[in-house]
């Protein structure tokens, strides 16, 4: 007996092994382990396929998967799976960053619990302890990446402290040093008094804190000058007062000296164009050792730098404040100045931006310190040129302006950190002030008096090498030859400068002017459903692992991807994740229905001329969707990819094609066999299209449907222009219009979905859908007119189609008319109010653009309501 002629009860029909309901927890781990063990994600450098490569922004070894990671990884996985299905040899390279400060803090806290410090162990033993921690507890995020479904090549996993990457770090350091692009100097840097190290800009978090703005009078009489500061204690390190050279108020003071209160020192008044004469009093105190702008002024005017605090932010200058912590010294200095009558004004509270260490939240101090720096000038120029000349494309293009604003105005980069965990600076100092930089294949100098620099390199230094060091550089490996430059870098716009620009600088420098990536695909930050920034204090932080536990990885991924417009922040909510889970369930149920009704992928599609209009329609719609999805992938518009596939799957396939096919599939005819083949084909192609976004459920369903090995390596769908059928689409659009209008009328009248209504259909032949009348009646719950039929409502549908309904006994016509009249009055009032505002030139001239747009949207909605209500009242008439 053939498959099409088998008869089974619904419970006994084949479902390809699919359970009655989709249970993500029963599928995800099993499928992921199969993918990895089968080597589906392992890249082959010897392959003759075109290369596509992505390096993962390396998460901290101390980190766990947060919602930002989940978004970033989802996008990278979508691209990797998409390209793999397109026939590319894909390397998605995973790994972790050693996270110098964060990791050292973790281990130091463990030692503190044992009443030990790193100094009790010594440097070598402490580093061994960190490696032990990494082996036992580090890298939890790698397992969490598996739960999300990351199709990374685990065989290429790297760590920034691996031997190979350490060799790369030492190699590029020496090259930069010899090219005089690395130097050591006293400069102002971000300093954490708790972690006792310099910090990069990205390790400083700025918040608006309440403080006090104090105005202090320096000098006496006509020579007095007033400065304002939020850090009164730093006045102890002032070495000048600066004014603008064109400020008439102070021209007579330029070149003179004024006594610095509380110290007895006399300091000069200098003219500097950096000073803004319109800000405050127009005069600023200059503390070169404790402020980056003041340092620059000091350099221009050859001012001395007085360090008035030590590394722990304790006052060191001789006097009554010596030994006080900065927060103790601040009120003490103000009190002393007030006692001398030097306080001119005090403003409290005064809200101002304050930098904090991202690790320990301690307020950061600008501090003059001897550090190692990268001379970024020529490197930054090359990084800017690579984007300007088109070698690197930034998506979306409008963010390129932000990139240029950074690289064109980049300061030299402080790369040394006062830590023990990290890449130690490969520089040795001799007894006679010798300085030797040692490469990876060189022996360091030995003998009495020689010692290595105590500092380690900024974590961002090694991660700047990530696109090529992870592929074996400085060796010319097969992996490097095949997969460099990488194809796309996916990352948040918030680290465009901190990481992307650094990779550009080092990549172009190390790889002979070859860029590290062809495209920089920037996404926004994840926000809550109201567009609000996620914060623990707001109570709106989402744990992606919690969503994966409750709704599945696919639902979590689809929720994130469906909000991912290029460069824009991504709003999400639990309600949307629930909707994504429902979408997965919809696909599951549709595929089970198809299998239970004999859908197949075996054999060629039937000739087009033998297909029904319904089958032609769904095949035509499929071709359009394939083309749309390809176009959206080309412009990195993941939200549009998801939206197109969602509506095709839910609306066209599940809500229309499946329902339209049911009467056909119940018969044992050639038409039924054709529909089974078309249904199998459409689902096969749909599951492939959806696989990059929701890999687990599509894998389970595709294997059940096709008996294939894996959808992961299946071919990406190709649009077939010959299957585009405008006539079939017009025919089905007319059918859908009739059914939709009847359903809308039924809903407006409060009819239950199961309640049948007698109706006469006329004019179906006008648009060529008269043969579909049985289907229309089935879908719209309409019975043919019987004896005594009386039309109490008439629907006029586009194309001259009329639907006369006998609603007697189903609705209260008078009550319904009264309700509609009330709704019409409300809509007319709303429309009138909106028109009045839009006709008011004064309103249009002053109102913000978004407010005007909102009024226009309200007017359009009111006018739409009026049209709908008028149609309903026209359709509703007494018998």
- Give the tens place of pLDDT for each residue, 397-418: 999 999 999 899 998 999 999 9
Q: Are residues 347 and 205 in the same domain?
A: yes
Averaged pLDDT, 495-507: 89
Four-point Cα dihedral 753, 758, 760, 764, nearest 10: 30
Which residues lie closer than 8 Å to 613 by C-beta, 6 or more apart? 728, 731, 732, 772
Separation between Cα atoms, residue 153 and residue 155, nearest integer Å: 5
Domain count, the chain: 4
Separation between Cα atoms, residue 151 and residue 746, nearest integer Å: 48
Separation between Cα atoms, residue 2 and residue 680, nearest integer Å: 17
Q: Are residues 604 and 659 in the same domain?
A: yes
Is residue 5 pLDDT above 90, yes or no? Answer: no
Separation between Cα atoms, residue 380 and residue 404, nearest integer Å: 10
* Residue 359 structure tokens: 């690790």
Domain assignment present for residue 719? The answer is: no
What is the pLDDT at residue 12?
52
Q: How far is CA 614 from CA 381, 485, 606, 627, in A?
A: 59, 47, 14, 20
pLDDT per residue over 638-674, tens digit each? 999 999 999 999 999 999 999 999 999 988 899 999 9
The CATH number covering residue 494 comes to 3.40.50.620
pLDDT per residue over 750-795, tens digit each? 888 888 999 999 999 999 999 999 999 999 999 999 888 988 888 8
Q: Which residues are annotated as a binding site for ATP?
A: 536
Four-point Cα dihedral 333, 335, 341, 346, nearest 10: 90
Separation between Cα atoms, residue 774 and residue 172, nearest integer Å: 75
Is residue 87 pLDDT above 80, yes or no? Answer: yes
Averaged pLDDT, 491-507: 88
Separation between Cα atoms, residue 151 and residue 699, nearest integer Å: 13
Task: Single out the residue of 83, 78, 75 nearest to residue 53, CA to CA.
Answer: 83
Q: Are residues 39 and 153 in the same domain?
A: yes
What is the pLDDT at residue 879?
35
Q: Are residues 854 and 752 in the same domain?
A: yes
What is the pLDDT at residue 283?
94
The CATH number covering residue 351 comes to 3.90.740.10
Averaged pLDDT, 267-296: 93
Domain boundary among 366, 381, 411: 366
Averaged pLDDT, 840-869: 84
Q: Are residues 574 and 636 in the same domain?
A: yes
What is the pLDDT at residue 493?
86
Domain boundary among 337, 366, 395: 366
The CATH number covering residue 664 comes to 1.10.730.10
What is the pLDDT at residue 152?
98
Domain assignment present for residue 397? The answer is: no
| Structural domain of 227 | 197-366
pLDDT per residue over 209-256, tens digit each? 999 999 999 999 888 999 999 999 999 999 999 999 999 999 999 999
pLDDT per residue over 374-386, tens digit each? 999 999 999 999 9
- CA 90 centroid distance within chain: 22
- CA 128 centroid distance within chain: 36
Share of the chain above pLDDT 90, in %: 79
Four-point Cα dihedral 75, 79, 85, 88, nearest 10: -150
Q: What is the CA radius of gyration of the chain?
A: 35
pLDDT per residue over 862-871, tens digit each? 898 888 788 7
* Residue 343 structure tokens: 């306080």
pLDDT per residue over 103-132, tens digit each? 999 999 999 999 999 999 999 999 999 999
Is residue 529 pLDDT above 90, yes or no? Answer: no
Domain assignment present for residue 372? The answer is: no
Averaged pLDDT, 520-541: 84
Q: How far is CA 50 from CA 88, 263, 400, 487, 511, in A?
A: 5, 71, 28, 11, 21
What strand order describes the sheet that includes 435-437?
A: 435-437, 427-429, 451-452
Separation between Cα atoms, residue 463 and residue 160, nearest integer Å: 7
Q: Are residues 153 and 286 in the same domain?
A: no
Q: Are residues 747 and 863 in the same domain?
A: yes
pLDDT per residue over 33-45, tens digit each? 999 999 999 999 9
pLDDT per residue over 324-358, tens digit each? 999 999 999 999 999 999 999 999 898 899 999 98
Could you identify the residue written with the tokens 């696909």?
587
* Residue 781 structure tokens: 């719950």
What is the pLDDT at residue 842?
84
What is the pLDDT at residue 6?
35
Q: Which residues are annotated as a binding site?
A: 536
What is the pLDDT at residue 489?
96
How does the average pLDDT of the chain come out, rounded?
92
Q: Are residues 149 and 220 in the same domain?
A: no
What is the pLDDT at residue 666?
86
Please tell me the total number of residues recorded for the chain in this structure. Answer: 879
Is residue 420 pLDDT above 90, yes or no? Answer: yes
Q: Are residues 587 and 534 in the same domain?
A: no
pLDDT per residue over 613-646, tens digit each? 999 999 999 999 999 999 999 999 999 999 999 9
15/801: higher pLDDT: 801
Share of the chain above pLDDT 70, in %: 97
What is the pLDDT at residue 878?
44
Separation between Cα atoms, residue 241 and residue 221, nearest integer Å: 16
pTM of the model: 0.86
Angle at 220 between CA 216 and CA 223, to 5 degrees: 100
pLDDT per residue over 152-194, tens digit each? 999 999 999 999 999 999 999 999 999 999 999 999 999 999 9
What is the pLDDT at residue 179?
97
Domain assignment present for residue 621? The answer is: yes
What is the pLDDT at residue 10?
44
Q: Are residues 584 and 601 in the same domain?
A: yes
Domain assignment present for residue 35? The answer is: yes
Separation between Cα atoms, residue 544 and residue 541, nearest integer Å: 10
What is the pLDDT at residue 116?
95
> pLDDT-based confidence at 877, cuts 50/70/90?
low
Domain assignment present for residue 173? The answer is: no
Domain boundary among 366, 395, 411: 366
Is residue 13 pLDDT above 70, yes or no? Answer: no
Domain assignment present for residue 648? The answer is: yes
Separation between Cα atoms, residue 138 and residue 131, nearest integer Å: 9
Q: Name which of 296-300, 409-413, 584-588, 599-603 the model is least confident about.
A: 409-413
Q: Name which of 278-282, 592-596, 808-812 the model is least confident about.
A: 808-812
Q: Are residues 268 and 336 in the same domain?
A: yes
CB 103 within 8 A of CB 63: no
Separation between Cα atoms, residue 283 and residue 281, nearest integer Å: 5
Domain assignment present for residue 815? The answer is: yes
Q: Are residues 337 and 201 in the same domain?
A: yes
């Amino acid at each position: 007996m053939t498959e099409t002629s088998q008869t089974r009860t619904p419970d006994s029909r084949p479902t390809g092994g699919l359970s009655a309901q989709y249970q993500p927890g029963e599928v995800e781990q099993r499928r992921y382990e199969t993918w990895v063990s089968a080597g589906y994600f392992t890249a082959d450098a010897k392959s003759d396929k075109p290369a596509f490569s992505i390096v993962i922004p390396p998460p901290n070894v101390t980190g766990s998967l947060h919602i930002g990671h989940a978004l970033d990884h989802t996008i990278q996985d979508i691209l990797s799976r998409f390209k793999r299905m397109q026939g590319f040899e894909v390397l998605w390279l995973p790994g972790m960053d050693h996270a110098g400060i964060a990791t050292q803090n973790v281990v130091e806290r463990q030692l503190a619990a044992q009443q030990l410090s790193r100094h009790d162990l010594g440097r070598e033993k402490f580093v061994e302890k960190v490696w032990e921690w990494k082996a036992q507890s580090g890298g939890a995020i790698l397992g969490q990446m598996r739960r999300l479904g990351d199709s990374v090549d685990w065989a290429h996993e790297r760590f920034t402290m691996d031997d190979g990457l350490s060799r790369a770090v030492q190699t590029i350091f020496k090259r930069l040093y010899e090219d005089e692009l690395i130097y050591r100097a006293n400069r102002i840097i971000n300093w954490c008094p708790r972690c006792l190290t310099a910090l990069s800009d990205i390790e400083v978090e700025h918040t608006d804190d309440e403080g006090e703005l104090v105005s202090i009078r320096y000098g006496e009489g006509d020579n007095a000058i007033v400065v304002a500061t939020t850090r009164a204690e730093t006045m102890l390190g002032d070495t000048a007062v600066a004014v603008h050279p064109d400020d008439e108020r102070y021209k007579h003071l330029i070149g003179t000296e004024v006594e610095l209160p509380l110290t007895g020192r006399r300091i000069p008044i200098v003219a500097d164009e950096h000073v803004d004469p319109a800000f405050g009093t127009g005069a600023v105190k200059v503390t070169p050792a404790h402020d980056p702008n003041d340092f620059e002024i000091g350099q221009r005017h050859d001012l001395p730098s007085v360090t008035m605090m030590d590394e722990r932010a304790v006052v060191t200058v001789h006097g009554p404040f010596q030994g006080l912590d900065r927060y103790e010294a601040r009120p003490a200095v103000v009190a002393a100045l007030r006692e001398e009558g030097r306080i001119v004004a005090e403003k409290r509270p005064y809200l101002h931006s304050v930098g904090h260490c991202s690790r320990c939240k301690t307020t950061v101090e600008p501090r003059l310190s001897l550090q190692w720096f990268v001379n970024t000038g020529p490197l930054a120029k090359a990084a800017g040129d690579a984007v300007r000349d088109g070698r690197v494309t930034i998506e979306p293009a409008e963010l390129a302006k932000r990139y240029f604003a950074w690289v064109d105005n980049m300061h030299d980069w402080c790369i040394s950190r006062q830590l023990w965990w990290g890449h130690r600076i490969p520089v040795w100092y001799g007894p006679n002030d010798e300085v030797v930089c040692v490469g990876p294949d060189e022996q360091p100098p030995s003998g009495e008096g020689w010692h290595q620099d105590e500092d380690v390199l900024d974590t961002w230094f090694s991660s700047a090498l990530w696109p090529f060091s992870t592929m074996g550089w400085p060796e010319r490996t097969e992996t490097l030859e095949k997969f460099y430059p990488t194809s796309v870098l996916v990352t948040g716009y918030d680290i465009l400068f901190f990481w992307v620009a650094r990779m550009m600088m080092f990549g172009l420098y190390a790889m002979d002017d070859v860029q590290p990536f062809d495209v920089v695909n920037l996404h926004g930050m994840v926000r809550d459903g109201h567009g609000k920034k996620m914060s623990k204090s707001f109570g709106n932080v989402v744990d992606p692992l919690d969503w994966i536990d409750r709704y599945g990885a696919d639902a979590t991924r689809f929720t994130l991807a469906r909000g991912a417009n290029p460069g824009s922040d991504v709003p999400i909510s639990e309600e949307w994740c629930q909707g994504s889970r429902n979408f997965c369930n919809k696909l599951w149920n549709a595929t089970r229905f198809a299998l239970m009704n004999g859908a197949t992928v075996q054999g060629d599609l039937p000739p087009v001329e033998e297909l029904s209009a319904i089958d032609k329609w769904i095949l035509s719609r499929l071709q359009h969707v394939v083309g749309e999805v390809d176009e959206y992938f080309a412009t990195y518009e993941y939200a549009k990819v998801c939206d197109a596939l969602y509506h095709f799957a839910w609306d066209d396939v599940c809500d229309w094609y499946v329902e339209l096919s049911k009467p056909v599939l119940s018969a044992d005819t050639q038409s039924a066999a054709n529909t089974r083949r078309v249904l199998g084909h459409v689902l096969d192609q749909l599951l492939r299209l959806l696989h990059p976004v929701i890999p687990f459920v599509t894998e389970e369903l595709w294997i059940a449907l096709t008996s294939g090995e894996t959808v992961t390596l299946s071919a990406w769908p190709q649009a077939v222009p010959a299957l585009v059928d405008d006539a079939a689409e017009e025919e089905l659009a007319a059918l859908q219009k009739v059914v939709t209008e009847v359903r809308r009328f039924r809903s407006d009248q409060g009819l239950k979905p199961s309640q049948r209504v007698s109706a006469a259909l006329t004019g179906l032949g006008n648009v060529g859908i008269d043969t579909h009348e049985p289907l229309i009646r089935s879908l719209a719950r309409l019975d043919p007119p019987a004896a005594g039929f009386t039309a109490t409502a008439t629907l006029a549908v586009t194309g001259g189609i009329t639907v006369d309904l006998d609603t007697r006994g189903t609705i209260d016509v008078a009550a319904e008319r009264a309700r509609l009249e009330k709704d019409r009055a409300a809509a007319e009032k709303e429309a009138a109010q909106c028109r009045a505002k839009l006709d008011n030139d004064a309103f249009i001239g002053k109102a913000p653009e978004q407010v005007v747009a909102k009024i226009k949207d309200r007017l359009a909605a009111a006018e739409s309501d009026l049209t709908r209500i008028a149609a309903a009242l026209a359709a509703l008439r007494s018998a």
